[in-house]
Structure 1
Amino acid sequence: MRLTILALILVVAVAFVGSAMATPPGKTVEYPAGDQGKVIFSGDTHGMKQGMKCADCHPNPFAMKKGAFKMTKEDHAKPDFCGKCHDGTKAFSQTVAADCCKCHKKAEAPAAPAAPAPAPAPEAPAPAK
């Protein structure tokens, strides 16, 4: 009996750890990328609103552990991984250059420094009495 309860507690704990590691709506995970810029993975666009379940992507083709898989340019061109959905039918294509910026974000150039505030106007002399 104790072993059964312990096993049940362990199963529930593992289930909650998995959901704690997920990217919920309103959150993003950033992955470094090559010359195309970092990849922004958004919980808003990969989830229940789109009719997706965690099991649609995990553990196959993506392991649940962050950093367990390093995407290469060759992997990206395959119909596996992101291409499982990003095929131009289920979601936008990963082969159309204009769509690259939907996931890959290049670093923004630093903003130009703000112009200095203009000097205050000199005060007018007080009127003579």
Structure 2
Amino acid sequence: TAAMAPSGYFKRTTLFWVVTITVSFGYFTLIVFAPDVIPYDCLGPFGSLCSHLVYYHADLMYKGWWAAVVVHVLEALYALKLCSDKGINHPNTRWRWFVQTFLFGYASLGLLIKYNPKRQKRY
């Protein structure tokens, strides 16, 4: 997609980040909203840490979860600004950047930050 016009430039984040962030945020969501479904005993020291956090710091975990959501929303909004700054003005492409950045944060936003439409090679 490097040869694509800036107005339609989109690059998907890697499968590694999709899986890592989905599993991590999914686990964080379970810890906050359904801590009883997690088999802490099967997770070794990590399970002990998570159990401790759930038992002694549930309020902090809840606030941390919402903070993470807010950060992802802000990153997604910033992605829209970057789209404008970089000449990405196709509505569908802007929507894709917004959604991908909301879901995967800097793993997506970093790709958009690195994109320099003035330096892209034409093939």
Shorter-chain TM band: 0.3 to 0.5
Task: Calculate the TM-score normalised by the size of structure 2.
Answer: 0.32
**Higher alpha-carbon Rg:** 1
Greater fraction of residues in strand: 1
Greater fraction of residues in helix: 2
Q: Which has the higher contact order (CA 8 A, sep 6+)?
A: 2
Task: Calculate the TM-score normalised by the size of structure 1.
Answer: 0.31
